[in-house]
Amino acid sequence: MVSARVLYIVVLPMSLRIYSFLLLICCTQVLLTESATRCCVPTNFRSNMDVTGGFLSNSGPNIVDNRVLLYFDYPTERSRTETRITLPGGGHLLHTEIADFAKHRVFKIDGDHCVESHMNATIQDRCISVDAQLVSTGYVGSPKNPLNIQTWRFSIPGTDIINYRMLTEISPGTCLPVLQAEHGFLNGAYSAMTYIISDCKKDVRKNGEYAWKDMTENKEIGVYHERQVKELCALHALNNLFQDQKAFCKKDLDDICIRLSPDHFINPHRSLLGLGNYDVNVLMAAVQTKSCETIWFDKRKNIKCLLPENIQGFILNTPSEYKWGLLHFPFKRKHWIAIRRIKDIYYNLDSKLDSPESIGDEESLFLFLQKELENGEKELLIVVSQEVEQAGTWRRNSDASGNLSTSSDQHSANETATSNANLQPLDDL
């Protein structure tokens, strides 16, 4: 009797525990597969966009007029989402698809059910008709690792419907904003879609590579922009200038500091605590590692003596207000700002900006720099290739006033830059 009771107490409860555990795993898997609020929520995505659109009919205007106003905050579930879609004829929205391009996954939400699949399974290159016409090409995401997109226009045989299809090439490791597509049907015949792409310029990535496409003017823009962290404005300016997140890291600049002053216990080229705050000597030495040179611009000369087409970029040294939290102190510090041309447009890549700021064409660049240099405390560095520096082709033979510029001016400017003690960049904490 004793052994039987022991078997009942020990063995049977253990079997129930194992059975319960397996049942829990199965139920959890079902919940994760079926629940729209659990498996269909991409993380770290925010969008505030107002999008309108619809499909066209050969015989008339838009047959579908939809307007969607969204504010997503996925880390706290799909809350604060307002959707207004007008479907003529009493149409209704049947399902929603959320495509997470970063993971190449597509989630289809239909009521309380959710189906997950790979993006290649939902976008097929072979699903266009023979009379399809290529409307536009482009990419979303990083220009170095893009998700290429082709938009084709074609008609559906036997109907008057003009359709569009986007074809993509999936690249592993691509980091892209989330695309949401909402599908509806009008009287069981016409399909309505609204595509909402996240605003890459804000909130998606603090330091990242931004790319967007203007379908109207058929322009593609890719801009890398690092935002301010602690006292690392020199690091951000360099990476923004060379448009490469891996151009330099903090250790690279710290190593340059040690190389410049190997015998100093307190290094004079960075902050006392080693948090950054690198001076002009570190910046110039870093530029040289990229086979480039830094030239000090003489503010007495006309800014139009420069030849921007032969210049890699500009670094502006500007005074910055010193503050600690909400406290402001009555003295100035210095800050590094990168400026360069990307696809014929010059951008202000100041790390204190939320996103790259377009300056415009060459004439707009001159006006911008001239206005900045009206402040006597600001200085301008010109970054050029070593070949351009040696040939002196970064400037015109004479400025707008007719004053000749010689190569000796250039070397003198470099010497002045190295010895100038007033250009110690200090950022806001």
Catalytic residue at 95? no
Residue 106, pLDDT score: 61
CA 406 to chain centre: 41
Instruction: Name, in order, each residue with C-beta under 8 angstroms of 268's C-beta and a sequence gap of 6 or more.
Output: 261, 279
Tell me which of 100, 279, 350, 399 is the catalytic residue.
350
DSSP 68: E
Q: In angstroms, rounded to a whole number, what is the distance separating the alpha carbons of residues 193 and 314?
A: 44
Place of tokens 């110039």: 284
First to last CA, the chain: 76
Task: Give the length of the chain.
Answer: 429
pTM (two decimals) = 0.46
Residue 156 is predicted with a pLDDT of 56
Mention every residue, 6+ apart, whose C-beta is less than 8 A from residue 363.
Answer: none
- Rounded (10°) angle between helices 280-288 and 233-242: 30
DSSP 6: H
Segment 96-113, tens digit of pLDDT: 555 554 455 665 655 556
- pLDDT of 408 higher than 90: no
Return the half-sphere exposure (C-beta side, CA atoms, 13 A cut-off) of residue 42.
25
Active site residue 112: no
Residue 76 has pLDDT above 60, yes or no: no
Helix (H, G, I), strand (E, B) or coil at 324: strand
Cβ–Cβ < 8 Å for 290, 282: no
Q: What residues does each domain of the chain span? A: 46-127+164-207, 228-419
Alpha-carbon span 214 to 168, nearest angstrom? 18
> Quick check: helix, strand or coil at residue 224?
strand
Determine the average pLDDT of the residues in 407-425: 45
Residue 8: pLDDT band with limits 50, 70, 90 = very low
- Crossing angle of the two packed helices 250-260 and 280-288, in degrees rounded to 10: 110
Give the pLDDT confidence of 292-340 residue by residue, as tens digits.
999 898 888 888 899 999 998 999 988 776 555 445 444 456 788 899 9
Q: Over the chain, what is the mean pLDDT?
A: 59
228-419 placed in CATH 3.90.70.40:
yes
CA 161 to chain centre: 37
- State the Cα–Cα distance between residues 99 and 117, nearest whole angstrom: 10
Indicate the burial class of 3 (C-beta count within 10 angstroms; 0-12, 13-18, 19 or more). Answer: exposed
From the list 233, 257, 292, 305, the catalytic residue is 233
CA-CA distance, 366 to 191, in Å (whole number)? 50
Contact 94, 192 (CB under 8 A): no
In this model, does residue 362 exceed pLDDT 50?
Answer: yes
Spatial neighbors of 129 by CB under 8 A, at least 6 apart, are 154, 155, 156, 157
Q: What is the pLDDT of residue 335?
A: 86
Residue 23: helix, strand or coil by DSSP?
Answer: helix
Annotation says 114 is catalytic: no
247-305: pLDDT as tens digits: 888 888 888 888 887 777 667 767 666 677 788 888 888 898 888 999 898 888 888 89
pLDDT of residue 73: 35
- Residue listed under structure tokens 């409860």: 13
* 103 CB-near residues (< 8 Å, 6+ apart): none
| Phi, psi (rounded to 5 degrees) for 389 | -65, -45
Answer for the pair 75, 69: CB distance below 8 angstroms, yes or no.
Answer: no
The encoded tokens of residue 288 equal: 């040289």
- Which member of 257, 305, 335, 427 is catalytic? 335
